[in-house]
Amino acid sequence: MADSSQGLHEEAAELSALTRDVHRALVSLQEELEAVDWYRQRAEACRDGELREVLLHNMREEIEHGAMVLEWLRRRDASFDEHLRTYLFTEVPITEAEEAATSGNGESSPEAAAAQPAAATAPEPKGLTLGSLKQQDPEVE
């Protein structure tokens, strides 16, 4: 079969719908990250300031798309959820976050999970809605 960016490694009939959707998400994430790289390089090499701003705008859009796919993956895969909660939005060096999460032995432990910051164990925040924005800012109509 083709490489993972082109197709599945196993027969589709042998895979669950979730596995096929996760594959789609992972390929999409790869494509979004590749586009971020391309736009960043193009913007840096560009000599026209207005075009550079357009390219940087496009790059930020691709970052947004990648973040959305990553969140979709986090919501559907416990391993993604666990690891993203361990590493994202932390201030300690990344390897220290790993050591704290694994008690230094490379394996997750209940004690390490309990030592995670409150944000790592907090319930999933609700998404923003027009209604919630209106409640936050009376000027929004």
Instruction: Centre a 10 Å sphere on the Cβ of residue 131 and count the other Cβ atoms it contains.
Output: 9
8 A C-beta contact, residue 103 and residue 111 = yes
pLDDT number for residue 99: 87
Kindly list the domain boundaries of the chain, sorted by start residue: 12-136
Yes or no: say if 59 and 66 are a contact pair by the CB < 8 Å rule: no
**CA distances from residue 129 to 89, 126, 134 in whole angstroms, order as listed:** 23, 9, 9
pTM equals 0.68
pLDDT, averaged per 10 consecutive residues of the chain (141 residues), comes to 66 95 97 98 98 98 98 97 94 90 65 42 43 46 39
